[in-house]
A and B are shown apart, each in its own frame.
Chain A
Amino acid sequence: MKIIYRDKVWELKGNITVRDAIKKVGLQPEAVLAMRDGKLITDDVIAKPDDTIRLIAVVSGG
């Protein structure tokens, strides 16, 4: 699966939960939201190999 966060992209193998994917790329599950096909998903979802997951940083603004 493909993980996109800000201007970074990671390619991960296997069927793993979104939560594990977030940790694998070194981010905090509490600090991001995950979207697939433009929809918000919970992080227990198991991402399929051809899924693209976009992560949104929850901190922003001044």
Chain B
Amino acid sequence: MKVTDIVKALDLKVFSGEGGLDRDVSGGYVSDLLSDVMGNADTGQVWLTLQTHKNVMAIASLKDLAAVILVGGHKPDENTAMQSNEEDIPVLGTNLPAFDICGKLYELIYNT
């Protein structure tokens, strides 16, 4: 499954990093604690968070994540979007709260 498939199926907004929409997705990880993501997320996962600052992209890039989904209507800071474009790691968005979007994403990745 590609990031673009998730965008279409879950009707996500693409804020930035369009160049990375064809990245392969291996799974997902949900956390707003950066060290938790650093220590426990894995390559190719989609990261769901409400953190919007630039350090999110530093972590996404260091961990080779497939994309970031900002939950609950959050929008990326300007320099977050800029780094997302430079790294070709998409920042996506949804108005749904974390629980709801996680449920849908889980269903999509593991049961379709």
The answer to whether A and B interact is no
